[in-house]
Structure 1
Amino acid sequence: MSSDELRQVFYTNLASIPAGRYCSYGDMASLCGVHVRQVLAWLRTLPADSNLPWYRLITGQRKIADYPGNQRQYRLLSDEGLIPESNGKYPTAYRWPDHSV
């Protein structure tokens, strides 16, 4: 698959994360068949006017990454009903795709 085709797979998977759910960077990388670093690179280069739900991607520890401006990500997830637990982790029940099967 070409890099453009892989990027489209990423966009499709990112758009597929339902509202009120989250996906880890690593799970997204597995879904796309790439290394997690590629997912992070694609996120950094999302068009400014993109409607893709980039904020639904969080760390494998079920936390929002520490970066300048991450309060916006907390707010966007909160607007969808996703609130971290007292330990700062998001509940596993809202992880996507569902890994309980």
Structure 2
Amino acid sequence: MSFSGFSEDDIRKLTKTQEVNKQHKVNKTPVKKVTFKSNNTINTPRSKNILNNTVSAQRLGEIQEEFKKLDAVLSTDVKILRQQIELASIEYMEC
């Protein structure tokens, strides 16, 4: 038999949770939070290795970005120098 769409099991579960809540209020015992400590701390060799790898990867990324910037600057400098050499050679040939 169901009561407004709820099965008997649902009603039993609801009343059980209500009873538990009432007991907590009567006893005034706070619900304790359970915290778990991880066994993997930063001091383990594997953790240190992973940390070193991530730091190395970040450094490598920064270095690659710097190389890209330097490559762009060098490309424009070479382009300007080639244009100047070409102009100088044309002027020399005209003389």
Greater helix proportion: 2
TM-score range, shorter-chain basis?
A: under 0.3
TM-score calculated relative to the size of structure 2: 0.20
Q: Which has the larger radius of gyration?
A: 2
